[in-house]
A and B are shown apart, each in its own frame.
Chain A
Amino acid sequence: MTVMTPPYRSELGSGRDGFWQLLHAEWTKFRTVRGWIIGLVIGVIAMAGLGLLTAGGAQSSCQAQGGPARSGGACMPSFPLGPAGEPVNDSFYFVHQPLTGDGTITVRVTSMTGLLPSASTGDMRPGLYPWAKAGIIIKENLNQGSAYAAMMVAADNGVRMQWNYIGDTPGQPGAVSPANPRWLRLTRSGDVITGYESADGTHWTQVGAVTLSGLPSAVQVGLFAASPQYTVKGQAFAGTSTIGLGPTQVTAVFDHVSGVGGTWTGADVGRPLDYPGFGSYHQAGGRFTVTGTGDIAPIPEGHGGDADSALTVTEFLVGTFAGLIALGVVAALFITAEYRRNLIRVTFAASPRRDRVLAAKAVVSGAVSFVVGVIGAAAGVLLGTAIAHARGYYVFPVSAATEAKVIIGTGLFAAVAGVLALAVGAIVRRGAAAVAIVIVVIAVPIFLAISAALPLGAADWVLRVTPAAGIALQQAYTQYGQVTGIIYSPLSGYYPLSWWAGLLVMCAWTAAALAGAAYLMRRRDA
């Protein structure tokens, strides 16, 4: 007689093997290794600490001619701020009269000539600065930084409509001359100002229509001339230098002024004392000759002038590079340690679908790195700004939205780097090789680009094609096409790609590495 023994079944309920369980397992593995948690803490400290070092260690000294030596906050520049809170240049010669309510001004520009400083003798020589501007403007008042909209001819950049410092819309290209004059018109209707241009005064083309919200009923309208400080870009390895060589001047001739009929007054807006006698106007019949210097434009960060001593949010984030090294080590070890200890066999035995193991590890690594990046960047940016302000230092301003963008962007950058490090670790299966590769592809390109070890073009390319392109997520300041004379380079915090393009390049590399890792994991024995 045979006894039928039922097959053994555990009394315990069968475990679920969903992705969440796998995720939970991987998270438990991660958080219980003390060395990795220490590594993450080091990452946060390195990321924030370097920026705080910058904010806390800043020292500057200056001395006005004949004045006492000063240091620290006393040397800080102060800029007029535009309507959006950004630092601006706002000094020009303005032939103006009041305008109340709606109205229109029309002029014809027949010539633009100018003077440039001469490097050798110090005298002026004839010539036009490429962004010398002359035209018509409707401006809130005569204060620096007040709202405006203007139609102008720029020496080498054709007709433009510009407003509130940041706005810039191109019209017809080409230089102005008596044989080739330009007609310009500005019309105010409520808060909306519309700019038109014409070659003959009869056929008009609209260049742009802008809304200056909150513009008072009484504004100033008139003719203006401005020509920026002459600068020379020097391309060197030890940083990119811009050398200022002094003021430039533009003289524009206007006629056919119509639409306004009051009395004209000439005035320097901004700081006329810097260059006395540079601005003037002369009226003969219907013909106005206006001469001016200065600029109506935003001041880009690191422009090489007064703002050089300003601290920047980019400097507070310099530790990202260090945090990435720590994250790279931890994320690579997260998988290579399993291979080294043979724990990977247990992992695969418990969860035979290897792709899902890789995915779970990637999620844990990415999430942890994101948190490290956000905490490190938030501490660096917020505390750095607070410390710099407390010490009386000027921080080149950014909006709260930009701060948030940069902090979350750093988190994303770190998260993708964490996933990439994990994928590389899964491919090479050796900790040291994985760490070295990750550092070479992410941290070293940033180092090379921001430490002036590479020539300019090469630095830009390095941050376009390597996974380090993700650093574009940290772009805090805007690059202005209408402001030349500074070099927009990684060294001064301008990255060659937009934030989404940089993220895309980095994600493409990471996706490729993940795909390679998944393929190899499937193919290879553990």
Chain B
Amino acid sequence: MTEAVASAGYPTWGARYVWGGFWDALHAEWTKLRTLASTWWLLLAAAALTVTVSAAVAAAYRCSPGAVGGCGPAATGADPAKISLTGVYLGQVIVALLAVLAVGGEYGTGMIRVTLAATPRRMTVLAAKVLVVTGWALAAAALAVGGSLLAGRLILPGHGLSAANGYVVPSLANGTDLRAFGGSVLYLVLIALLALGVTTAVRDSAVAIGLVLGLLYLFTIVASVIPNKDLSRHLQQIAPMTTGMEIQATAGVSSLPLTPWQGLGVLALWAAGALLLGAAVLRLRDA
């Protein structure tokens, strides 16, 4: 009798298995993440680090006086939007860390067993975590990218990248800049999801953050130092950070290995792959 009720209430697969009790799970995940002090600190740190680095790089930009044809866009090839967004290179570490800790923290403390006891549908737990982490990453990314945009607008015109020299001062009013800045927010969210998937798969925070950052930075370095030009281009088309960052380009777009949106699409595939892997491990292994 009890068994019959249990199996009726908890189907093991299908839409009800995933969505049943989803709002409760979401609420639980939200509460867990919200009540950790570290989540808030990481949110602030991601935004502060990104904006600081972006502003510092924008302030360090100099048009070299000896360059052919002065400081115009054709001579320098400088991309004001990309310069304003340099901080994303560093901010992504914190965003990834936030996602890693959202899952890895539970494995570190053994909390995951409580979570899975309370919500035995593991896919529901993962879906709830994905949604909550997406929300946090969106908030962090919006703050970080918004601050970078502001820094770029204020600083770059004073360093030769002005409208008078023929540059487009970063603004959300034009399409390419909107793509660069809006796309960077999406980029950071996808990095968070990639990190979430990897952590669910390896179940250890330290190893997960090492893997994610190695995947991001190392792949990029490998792709750029390979002296074989064809192989290098192919690697640049699949390296998650290189392709994802193409969304930031507003100058020289035609010479990129992929178009900006294709680039972000490749990163999305990486994130989806990591989440699938994580889902498979979560479903198949004991916690």
Contact between chains at A322 and B228 (CB < 8 Å): no
Contact between chains at B206 and A434 (CB < 8 Å): yes
Assess whether B82 is interfacial by the CB under 8 Å rule. Answer: yes
- Give Cα A233 to B81, complex, Å: 24
Contact mask for chain A residues 2-26; partner B; CB cutoff 8 A; 1 contact, 0 none: 0000000000000000000000000
Given A328-B210, A454-B57, the answer on whether A232 and B66 have CB atoms closer than 8 Å is yes
Assess whether B209 is interfacial by the CB under 8 Å rule. Answer: yes
Contact mask for chain B residues 40-69; partner A; CB cutoff 8 A; 1 contact, 0 none: 000000000000000011001111101110
For A119, the closest partner residue in chain B by CB is: B68
Assess whether A155 is interfacial by the CB under 8 Å rule. Answer: no
What is the minimal beta-carbon distance from A55 to any residue of chain B, in angstroms? 9
State which of A81-89, A90-98, A270-278, A444-452 sits at the interface with chain B.
A444-452
What is the minimal beta-carbon distance from A393 to any residue of chain B, in angstroms? 9
Interface size, B (range): 35 or more
Assess whether B217 is interfacial by the CB under 8 Å rule. Answer: yes
Given A234-B67, A439-B93, A444-B90, the answer on whether A455 and B60 have CB atoms closer than 8 Å is yes
Give the chain B neighbours of A178 by CB distance below 8 A: none
Contact between chains at B97 and A432 (CB < 8 Å): yes
The majority secondary structure among interface residues of chain B is: helix
Contact between chains at B226 and A54 (CB < 8 Å): yes
A residues 212-233 touching B (CB-CB < 8 Å): 232-233
Contact between chains at A455 and B61 (CB < 8 Å): yes
Contact between chains at B90 and A58 (CB < 8 Å): no
What is the minimal beta-carbon distance from B78 to any residue of chain A, in angstroms? 7
Contact between chains at A440 and B56 (CB < 8 Å): no
A residues 430-465 touching B (CB-CB < 8 Å): 430-436, 439-440, 443-444, 447-448, 450-451, 453-458, 461
Query: Looking at the complex, which one of A59, A243, A322, A453 makes contact with B86 (CB distance below 8 Å)?
Result: A453
- Give Cα A435 to B77, complex, Å: 36
- Give Cα A432 to B83, complex, Å: 29
Contact between chains at A243 and B220 (CB < 8 Å): no
Given A329-B206, A455-B57, the answer on whether A236 and B220 have CB atoms closer than 8 Å is no
State which of B22-30, B100-108, B125-133, B258-266 sits at the interface with chain A.
B100-108
For A55, the closest partner residue in chain B by CB is: B227
Assess whether B214 is interfacial by the CB under 8 Å rule. Answer: yes
- Give Cα A57 to B64, complex, Å: 34
Contact between chains at B64 and A435 (CB < 8 Å): no
Assess whether B221 is interfacial by the CB under 8 Å rule. Answer: yes
Contact between chains at B64 and A235 (CB < 8 Å): yes
Other contacts beyond A444-B93, A454-B57: 13, CB < 8 A: A59-B228, A232-B66, A236-B77, A321-B218, A329-B207, A336-B206, A439-B217, A443-B217, A447-B221, A451-B224, A455-B60, A456-B64, A457-B60
Residues of B whose CB lies within 8 Å of any CB of A are 56-57, 60-64, 66-68, 75-79, 82-83, 86, 89-90, 93-94, 96-97, 100-101, 104, 108, 204-210, 213-214, 217-218, 220-222, 224-229, 231, 252
Q: List 11 A-B contacts (CB under 8 A).
A: A53-B222, A58-B228, A233-B66, A234-B75, A430-B205, A439-B213, A443-B217, A444-B217, A450-B221, A455-B57, A455-B62
Residues of A whose CB lies within 8 Å of any CB of B are 46, 50, 53-54, 57-60, 119, 232-238, 243, 311, 315, 318, 321-322, 325-326, 328-329, 332-333, 336, 340, 430-436, 439-440, 443-444, 447-448, 450-451, 453-458, 461
